[in-house]
Amino acid sequence: MLFHVRMNVNLPHDLPAAETADILAREKAYSQELQKSGKWRHIWRIAGQYANYSVFDVPDNTQLHEILSGLPLFKFMDIEVTPLLRHPSAIREDDT
């Protein structure tokens, strides 16, 4: 099942630089592994914001919740999730 996810990151300004660097490094490694596995299919930066739009391909909302709550930046994020279904007028058969 596909999910459209908007993630807004709100890092505290007083977070120590070393802690910020560690969280960001872990976040990058975790997200890239999910991308390699095919679970995190797309990620786009939103211009001018510390935010992204992403598409996840997972069996259900339980697995999506597990993935999102495992993000090192999770406690600093506002997340909006929209489940996606194939549109009946879509012409690409390979993008379900």
* Consecutive 10-residue averages of pLDDT for the chain (96 residues): 97 96 98 98 97 97 98 98 92 76
- Bridge partners, residue 5, by sequence: 54, 81
Q: Is residue 57 assigned to a domain?
A: yes
| pLDDT given at position 37 | 98
26 belongs to a structural domain: yes
In a domain, 46, yes or no: yes
Domain annotation covers residue 60 = yes
State residue 4's pLDDT score: 98
Tens of pLDDT, residues 55-79? 999 999 999 999 999 999 999 999 9
Domain of 52: which CATH number? 3.30.70.1060
Give the residue ranges of DSSP H helices in the chain.
17-37, 61-69
Whether 35 maps to a domain, the answer reads: yes
Please report the pLDDT score of residue 72 as a whole number. Answer: 98
> Angle at the Cα of 62 (from 60 to 66), degrees rounded to 5?
125
Give how many domains the chain has, as a whole number. 1
Residue 90 in any domain: the answer is: no
Residue 56 lies in a domain: yes
- Give the residue numbers spanning the domain of 57: 2-84
Q: What is the pLDDT of residue 96?
A: 62
Alpha-carbon distance of 25 to 69, in angstroms, equals 17
Residue 94 lies in a domain: no
Please state, in angstroms and rounded to a whole number, the distance separating the CA atoms of residues 58 and 94.
Answer: 16
| Amino acid sitting at position 75 | K
